[in-house]
Structure 1
Amino acid sequence: MSDRRCPAAHLDDPTVCGGPVVVTVLDRFNAGADGCEHHGARLLASLDGGRIYPLPDAPPGASIRVFKAAASIRPFCWLDGPRTAPSQLSRAENHTQSGR
């Protein structure tokens, strides 16, 4: 990607895109943004009830890679500070703490 970042990149997230735009991330109200796998995962991790869909020209497995990556990313991971509440932890961390 050029100096521009994909629509899924949060304004406060300083990271660069991880490739072309290949997925659409939707929230529980069906508002969405297209993004690269990197920012798609970061956005999905920050949504409660979000969903991921591959774009028609996405490489095979793009949406599942984003889904799996999002499970280990904390919501709004670019923010600093202590994180102890379940809503501040990744799905994987919450899963581990619940003993499942």
Structure 2
Amino acid sequence: MTSRCPSAHPDDPTPCVGAVAVTVLDAVGAGANGCEHHAARLLASLAGGRVYALPDAPAGAAIRVFTAAGTLRPFCWVDGPH
């Protein structure tokens, strides 16, 4: 089994896309680093979540994650297309 980034939900079957680039924080400040793909999926599944680019992230990574999360339903890997 290939390892995935910390923001990938165990039930989400999709692979990482790109390197770990951002941190997603929940409403109380707990967080996970992740690739843009899984970070967007995680952010879409949180109430009051925030995303921050890591120091070595590509320009615009946090904005891309935030924008992508806005197009996803929470837990989008459950009962639907992946």
**TM-score, normalised via structure 1 length:** 0.78
Taking the aligned partners of 2:39 and 2:9, their CA distance within structure 1 comes to: 10
Higher RCO (CA-CA < 8 Å; seq separation 6+): 2
Q: Percent identity?
A: 70
Residue 29 of structure 1 corresponds to 28
Q: Does the alignment pair 1:6 with 2:31?
A: no
Alignment of 1:33-44 (within 5 A): 33-44=32-43
What are the ranges of 5 or more consecutive residues in structure 2 without an aligned counterpart? Answer: none
SS state of the match for residue 44, structure 1?
helix
Aligned residue for 2:47?
48
| Greater fraction of residues in helix | 1
Displaced runs of 4+ in structure 1, greater than 3 A? none
Larger Rg: 1
Q: Distance in 2 between matches of 1:39 and 1:68?
A: 13
Alignment of 1:21-100 (within 5 A): 21-80=20-79
Give deviations 1:42-82, integer Å, cap 9, x for gaps.
Answer: 0000000000000000000000000000000000001117x
Structure 1 unaligned residues grouped into runs of 5+: 82-100
- Distance in 2, matches of 1:57 and 1:73, equals 26
* Distance in 1, Cα, partners of 2:48 & 2:20: 21
SS in 1 for 2:72: coil
Number of aligned residues? 80
Cα RMSD (Å): 1.3
Using the size of structure 2 for normalisation, the TM-score is 0.95
1:3 shift after superposition: 1.5
